[in-house]
Amino acid sequence: MVKKVYLVENLDCANCASKVEAALNALPEVQEAVLTYATMQLRITAEDPDALLPKLQEAAQKVEPEVEFYPKDGAHTHHNHTGEHEHHHDCCCGHEHYHDHAHDHHHDDEHEHEHHHNHEHTYEHSHDHGHEHGGEESEDLKPILVGAVLFVVGLVLDHFGLKWPTLGVCLVAYVLLGREVIVTAVKNLARGQMLDENFLMALASIGAFFTGSFTEAVGVMLFYRVGEYFEDRAVARSRSQIMEAVDLRPEVVQLVDGETVREIPAGEANIGDIVLVRPGDRIPLDGIVVSGSSRIDTAPITGEPVPVSVAEGDSVVSGCVNTTGQLTVRVEKSLSESMVTRILDSVENAAASKPKIDRFITRFARVYTPIVVGAAVLTAIIPSLITGDWGKWVYTALTFLVMSCPCALVLSVPLAFFAGIGAGSKRGILFKGGQSMEAMSKIKAVVMDKTGTITKGDFTVQKIVGGDELLELCADCEQQSTHPIAESIVAAAKARNMELRRPEELEELAGRGIRAKLDGKEILCGNERLLTEKGVSFPKSKEYGTKVLVAVNGVYQGYLLIADTIKTGAENAVRALRDSGIETVMLTGDAEESAKAVAGAVGIREVHAGLLPQQKLARLQSIRETKGAAMFVGDGINDAPVLAGADVGAAMGSGADAAIEAADVVFMTSDVAAVPQALRISRQTARIAWQNVVFALAVKLAVMILGLCGYASMWLAVIADSGVALLCVLNSIRILYKK
């Protein structure tokens, strides 16, 4: 089976998107179809998706006539916009949707360059389509404004008891406001879609005419159009805000061509090209600094607030901001392979992975409308037969029909998770799906590896007992060795600008250390076993790390303490987890003494050391049984089985590719502080999603109850429908701005 991604156009209704997705999944040739409304992308799994595309298009257009699919690889030229075209179409929800394709790319630069980018894109884009065609928005507003004026006139005429003039004005206003809804309703009826929002809204408002509520019929359609107008724009703006947060791809690069600098589309830059990065510019592509020095703000990629110094020979990744000096950078990865594209792809792929609550709401939405319509029919008939007051109960039933569309539910949940994924990416946390985020919100225990997760994974000299002379002597002996401990000793000596001498004799003793002769003296440099074998007495003590003992001519001189460095902020991160009710555990293959020392330093109380990969997995299973859902955080190849077996696997971005591939979430910062951050974002996202569901259902239920009691008008019903959807959209993107 082949997976293929297509861009979706002419679809701006979450409920319609779910219907299209269901229609595509019903095709026997399709193994899986996922239509992600938040990113306007369709993912098809089939034997030959491209050959199947016409059939996919046909099936989709039976539900939504205007919807179009295009390969994401840029095969269609529609995205090279000139701004001349307009898209007005009626989706099955009755919205008059607009597209804004004017591509306002925010580079977050604090200053303006003269080379602001007014050119067509030649490379593939993930659009929000937001094309502000100057007059298009006003065109949408014209019928609403004219209808509103006529509505007010109708209210005045009705106030003075002028029935027929009121009816005439209201009919004109209704046709102006409701024409598209009625036309779409008729089209959908022809396709067999009776329980469609347009049909139900048309039925409710026309029914109001027949009950003599002329102004109310117009008012319902007016408020509906106003609500949809603001809802459409809120959705478009929300999608744009999320994509702006994660889409850091450049439009152009400044190519150094000999003595000149010229601007070319970023997609045309090749590996080996030299590009100029001015102060304040984003680094456009992954590469190596050829000349210049500067400080790089990596926060847009990693979330790390402290700028990093770079100079000639240093690697830089796209998306980071050059803050001070001018740089020339040799391109090492094309746009499609650069960090900014990888992050965007990760976010888009994550958005396509629907959490359980999203799948539940989609299924619920399919039965919600029939249930509400059924309740409306029963409300219209049964009480009327009992009381004989048909006018009252038919009117109440009409209020039910107004609220029968599940748009607020279907829209708000996936948008909440998409916003949560975007919020994570802003902080260097890449969630691989809504499912991962949902699972993370239920975590009760965080299990961490030691080396590379809590510690940096690089050995450094932590303590010198015997003075700098001892360090110099030890470095003289160790400079020929490739052992990590030896390398750390030599690095410490060079950092102090020590001039190292070459020993006259040198013997490396496997598993013990080095014996050397320098200035006619015998030097022993190694572990306790070496000095014991040579009959050298020395004091014993227990400290975290590896001791390198030194003896000269059989006399003990002191020792160097070599240890892996604990990551800055690890202790605060563990404390934050503990304060939020999450238990922390360490699983490591390292020695117990070293593991307990590190765990004690950061505040982890439960430690399991000396474990093989399969033993880690078994221990993790036992932790899950006693403590609940567990997340494992690791970075090495040996951690891959545990990452895959945990409820949530999290990998450090600096770790092995196998670990990153197996993980459900990746921390680009490789900082332990990202762990409580990710848990907080996932919990907030899940909370917001459920808030939307409960709020939408509660308001609709409340209005229905008020209607049964005779206190709810159709006006209130339409506000409860469109207004609730708008509030849910705004609530969904709130996570983007949480600290």
Q: Which residues are catalytic?
A: 449
> Whose CA is closest to 101, among 73, 121, 74?
121
How many whole angstroms separate alpha carbon 215 and alpha carbon 151? 7
Residues linked to residue 321 through DSSP beta bridges, in sequence order: 282, 297
Query: Quick one: three-class SS letters along 616-638?
Result: HHHHHHHHHHHHCCEEEEECCHH
- Pick left, alpha or beta for residue 467 (phi over 0 → left; psi -120 to 50 → alpha; otherwise beta): left
CA distance 275 to 285: 9
- Residue 710: left if φ>0, alpha if ψ -120 to 50, beta else—which one? left
Neighbour tally for 325: CB within 10 Å? 16
Name beta bridge partners: 576: none
Which H or E element spans position 68? strand 68-71
Nearest Cα to Cα of residue 362 among 35, 677, 634? 35
Q: CA separation (Å) from 551 to 352, 534, 540, 557?
A: 63, 10, 14, 5
Side chain identity at 68, as an amino acid letter? E
Q: For the stretch 437-450, what's the b/e string if a residue is b when 16 or more beta carbons lie within 10 angstroms of its beta carbon?
A: bbbbbebbbbbbbb
CA dihedral 177, 179, 185, 188 (to 10 degrees): -130
Residues contacting 448, CB < 8 A, separation 6+? 454, 584, 585, 586, 587, 604, 632, 633, 634, 672, 675
- Where helices occur in 403-499 by DSSP H, the ranges are 407-426, 434-440, 468-478, 484-495
Between helix 356-387 and helix 407-426 the angle, nearest 10°, is 160
The dihedral built from the CA positions of residue 303, 306, 312 and 314, taken in this order, carries a sign that is negative
Give the span between the Cα atoms of 200 and 181, in whole angstroms: 10
Report the sign of the C-alpha dihedral through residues 21, 22, 24, 25, in that order: positive
At 365, list the tokens: 């939405």
List the structure tokens of 736: 């983007």
Q: Are strands 315-316 and 429-431 parallel, antiparallel or unpaired?
A: unpaired
Cβ atoms < 10 Å from Cβ of 155? 16
Decide: 5 and 402 in contact? Cβ < 8 Å: no
Residue type, 567: K
Please give the structure tokens belonging to residue 561. Answer: 């303490």
538 vs 556: CA distance, rounded Å: 6
Backbone φ, ψ for residue 189 (5° rounding): -60, -40
What distance separates the 2 farthest-apart alpha carbons in the chain?
120
Beta strands in 567-597 (DSSP E): 583-587
| Nearest Cα to Cα of residue 123 among 312, 301, 303, 249 | 249
